[in-house]
Every structure is written in C-alpha cells, then in structure tokens.
Amino acid sequence: MDINSVRSQFPIFSKKINGKSLIYLDSSNSSQKPLSVINALDNFYKNEFSNVGRSIHSLAVNATNKFDETRMSVKNFINASSKEEIIFTKNATESINLVASTFGQQNIKKGDEILITELEHHSNYVPWHYLREYKGAIIKFIPINDDGDIVIEKIKELITSKTKIIAITHLSNVTGTIVPIKEIVEIAHKKNIPVLVDGCQSAPHIKIDVKDLDCDFYAISCHKVYGPTGVGILYAKKKWLETLPPYIGGGGMINEVKKNKITYAPSPEKYEAGTMPTAEVVAFNESIKFMQSIGIENIVRHEKELTNYALEKLKKINSVNIIGNPKNKAGVISFTIEGIHPHDISTIVDEDGVAIRAGHHCCQILHERLNLTATARASIGIYNNKEDIDVLCNAIENCRKVFNLK
C-alpha cells in the first residue's frame, strides 16, 4: 500500500492549520473525506438530484437506483444476508435508539435486564437508560479489567432468566480494545439473548462480517468511515425487522393509509420514514469503494504498524501514561501527562497543527472506572503516517516545555 497516494486523495491535507501542516489524529471522532466522496456529493446535487422512492420521472429513477446501489454495497461490505437487512439512519446513535425503542417497546417489561459494558460510549448507554426510566428495566454493566479488556467470564454470571438483550461495543473509542464479539454472541445465543453491536469505531478499521459474528444488530456511523455526515447504518437480522414495530412514522414507511387503519411497508422502507439524506447515502458508496480499493487487510496492517510505532514512541516520553493495555488494540491511544490537564495538552499541540481530542470522549462510566475525569486521545486513520506520530511526540514534548516540566 502506498500511503502517499492514499493521503493525496484527501484535499484537507493540503491545508495549513495555524500555519502548520495538518496532523489529523482525531479519526475516532470523525474521519476526513477523500475527494471521490466530496465529488460524489457535488455531482449528485449538480447533475442528478431528485428525491428517491416516490416520483417516476427519469431523475427520480436514477436517484433511487443509486440510493439502492449503496445499500447493496453496504450489504457486501459487512457481509449481510440480504440488502433488506440494511437500514439507513441519521447516525449510529439513531441506529441504537431505533433498536432500544422498538425492541424495548415489544420485549422489555419492569424488572427485565439489559447488559452493557463499562466500555460503552454514551450512545450505547443512554438509549437503554430510557428503558430503565420508562419501563423499569435494570441495566447491568459487564466489567472490564485494568487493561481495558472485558471480563468475559463475568458475562455468564451476569446473565439471568430476565436478561433480554446485550448491547456491546466492537471497539472502544478510549482504550482501542477490540472486543471478541463472536465469543460473546455465542454465550448470549445459548441463552437466546440477542446482541446489538456498536460498530462505530470498528467499521473503518477492521473487517466486519455480520454473518460470521452472528450478531442480531450492528450500528455504523458513516462519517467515521470516510463518508459524509448525516448517515448511519443499522444492520438487523431479517427476523427482527419483520417482527419489531416501526420507529419513526411518516411518508415512505407505509403500505396503505386509511382513516381507521394503517399498514406498514416491509423493511428497509419500514424504518426509513421521511426524506432521507439522499446525496449523502449516494456518496457513501464512494467511501466503501475507497476502503475496498485499499483492501481491509492492508488497512489493518498499516494501522497496526502505526499504532505500535506510536505506542513505543509515546512510552519513551517522560510522564506520559497510556490508558489501557488490551490484548487486541486498534489505533485509538488515550493518554495523560502527569501535571498537564488533557485540555491544556490539546490546546498546546494544536499550535503545531496537531488535532487530537481531550475530555471524556462520551465515556464517563469508563473514565470513572479508571479514576480519571479526562484523557487526551490520538486516534489513527488510514491517511496517517509515521511523520504524523513524530510531530505528535514533539508537540507533547513541547507541552512539557510550556509547563516548565523537567
């Protein structure tokens, strides 16, 4: 893989930040976009725009076809059984809310239990909290160890006859832990418990095969997968899409509407009410093509190599503390520096053009578990190279200088 040719596909890297080259290490937050995706958005609005699934004029037919092509690409990208199992949403947050709401409505009653983990992003906790608040459900947390790995044995202990669903991240946005989903799904399915996987961080960085994982639901945010904002994906096994109630009501999701009765369209339309982010969905097809043009194996190899390089270099810097040491770690590196608050780190490295994130990264439960209020996080994307890591490390050294640390 030629990293320079990958990087050159991203126009933003020709821009200067504070007079310096951009060192973008905030891909866990959102990824930058290749030119092909930007052009696809531009082209759709300039030459092809129409709403989809309604009108029968030529533009509408073309737009509908293109919209559907992305659905097919997503199906292949994650190895779903059929494209009807792919629902477009606003983002992964909405995907998880969709499941929590509809599954909860149908299957959760007072005293029922939901298992999540201490690693979860707020978007895979708050939607389940609603069921605790409105339905009297109980949320139990699968613990992690100090390395940031999930304690798998605890799952068996926590499962009871009241456990109705397990919701779990595939890849932590703080520790970079890659969670053994397949193993957890096996444990859950032995007890007939469905599993929702938050795939926000995993989709851009590791191979996703929902058939192999055998999970029931899988949520993805397209803007993290080199795609446009405003689009998310929910994969759900067909049996769930056929049996769960609809979510948002409106145009496009109905079969027939009478004064006294409404019937709903089959999936995926059943879950895609109202006008969708049409141009964004169409453009997302280019993101998948971009990923496929590099090859997921190459992506994994490049990012693993860079992560190891970064970890080695960071560990050599005095007073830098890396958060978590999971068995299987992706390119998400959270750290603290003794004597410097993460917000100060972020402001100081920004002067060198280095974009990292500081804060709790929407994981307050995890930070509390690790006795931290905030961390700094450098997260890697396919466009990063060793020079980026070198600049980051120099910028961190500069933090220590600004703070007069020895």
Contact residues for other proteins, defined by CB under 8 A: 339-344, 347-348, 351, 358-360, 364, 367, 373-374, 402-404
Q: Which two tokens stand for residue 293?
A: 């043009």
- Residue labelled with tokens 């983990």: 117
Q: Which among 200, 215, 222, 362 is annotated as catalytic?
A: 362
With respect to other proteins, which residue has the nearer C-beta, 285 or 336? 336
- Is the peptide bond prior to 268 cis by the omega test (within 30 degrees of 0)? yes
What's the closest the beta carbon of residue 121 comes to other proteins, in angstroms?
Answer: 15
In the residue annotation, 362 being an active-site residue is answered as: yes
Residues in the chain, overall count: 406
59: enclosing H helix or E strand: helix 58-78
What's the closest the beta carbon of residue 175 comes to other proteins, in angstroms?
Answer: 17
> Could you tell me if 176 and 324 are in contact, meaning their C-beta atoms sit under 8 angstroms apart?
yes
What's the closest the beta carbon of residue 351 comes to other proteins, in angstroms?
Answer: 6
Q: Looking at this protein, which amino acid is placed at residue 364?
A: Q
The alpha-helical segments, DSSP class H, found in 231-355 are 238-243, 278-294, 296-315, 342-350
Q: Which DSSP category does 98 fall into?
A: H
With respect to other proteins, which residue has the nearer C-beta, 333 or 337? 337
| 3-class secondary structure, 9 | coil
What's the closest the beta carbon of residue 139 comes to other proteins, in angstroms?
Answer: 21
What's the closest the beta carbon of residue 394 comes to other proteins, in angstroms?
Answer: 14
- Whole-number Å distance between alpha carbons of 380 and 389: 9
With respect to other proteins, which residue has the nearer C-beta, 49 or 403? 403
Class of residue 214 by CB neighbours under 10 A (exposed 0-12, middle 13-18, buried 19+): middle
**β-pairing verdict for 195-198 and 217-221:** parallel
> Please, what is the end-to-end C-alpha distance for the chain in angstroms?
40
Q: Which two tokens stand for residue 43?
A: 């082209």
- Whole-number Å distance between alpha carbons of 104 and 166: 12
What's the closest the beta carbon of residue 225 comes to other proteins, in angstroms?
Answer: 25
* Distance (Å) of CA 186 to CA 18, 87, 143, 190: 50, 25, 18, 6
With respect to other proteins, which residue has the nearer C-beta, 342 or 381? 342
With respect to other proteins, which residue has the nearer C-beta, 21 or 364? 364
- Whole-number Å distance between alpha carbons of 333 and 320: 12
With respect to other proteins, which residue has the nearer C-beta, 21 or 398? 398
Residues with active-site annotation: 362
